[in-house]
Structure 1
Amino acid sequence: MAPGGKAACTGCSRRKLKCEDVLGQEACKECAAKERPCVRPAPGRKRCKKACALCKGDKLRCEESGQGPACSRCVDLDVECSFVVGEGFPRTADEPQAGADANPDSTSTTEAPEDMHEHAGPLTVADTFEGVQADVGPVTAAEPFVPVLSAARLSTIPSQSSCLSCIPSAHASPFR
């Protein structure tokens, strides 16, 4: 901000320079020296609480124009100023995410090769963290579940060398 509580001119603001007024002149010190027009933002110009679709898409500051509901960029570009409703607010634990199954108890599955360790069928998320919740205790919806494995549980995880034996010979490592 320029001395006296005024906003810096657009030229100094863009160049991130100190905007200093000169007594008896319209232009600030920097604009007068470079012989540029010294333009200050309109008084009462405020940032919007939420960016419109155009400003958000271009990742630019959205400012009220003072000419109705449209922001200053949309007014300058003569385009419709629209705000996306309901976007960007965090969901509560009760609300399902878009595209999520209606049944919250369902588990996603991924197919595993038949010769992979003890499993010979689809793996579920529940299988992956089997018994981990017993180690850490019950989890409430208010706190995120972060699995912490004990040393005994870590020893049951297959090592990298035992996983290499699961790779078919066509995809074998050149380092063997």
Structure 2
Amino acid sequence: MAKITDETKKLIIADYLTGKYSQRELAKRHSISIGTVNKLTKDLEAKNEHFVEAEVAMISARQTLPNEQMNAIMNAAQNEAYNRGLIFNATQKNLNRMIEMLDKNTKYEKISVGDGVQNFEPVELSANDYKSLQDGIDKASLTLGVNPRNTTQINNTNAQQNQTKIVIERKEIKGKSE
């Protein structure tokens, strides 16, 4: 069998990541052996399946919705993606600044010189500063998706608790009560 090109390898991996093709289907589709597909896809997970489903939903919407509604959907999605990009970039910049502060063990505090002039002077970080930086890093890790956490909010107040009565019945068995 002929050696496959790097471009073909990329296509096979891309197809595999969609989660929509078996190794047998990929081998047939790209005219290679199942063993070769197995080697290329070893330790890979199909992580793009949700994108395939989203695209299917968009294709279905294009077939059923008027152009005005599709344009509105696309504009809203582009705005949302742009805003998420801004948040992502700002979070990365803030994270870099926090790491720089930790590396130098300093922060800058505002000092009034007079006549409305303010200067900044480096000072050593305090314990509260370290805690604030750690909290900021933790929040940044959530925003950037580095440390995803599933949170479950439990609302348990006295007003919400159920008042359940437990009733115990006594039965007579062979002349004895239980």
Settle same-fold status: TM greater than 0.5.
no
Bin of the TM-score, shorter chain as denominator length? under 0.3
TM-score (norm 2): 0.22
User: Which structure features the higher share of strand residues?
Assistant: 2
User: Which structure features the higher share of helix residues?
Assistant: 2
TM-score (norm 1): 0.22
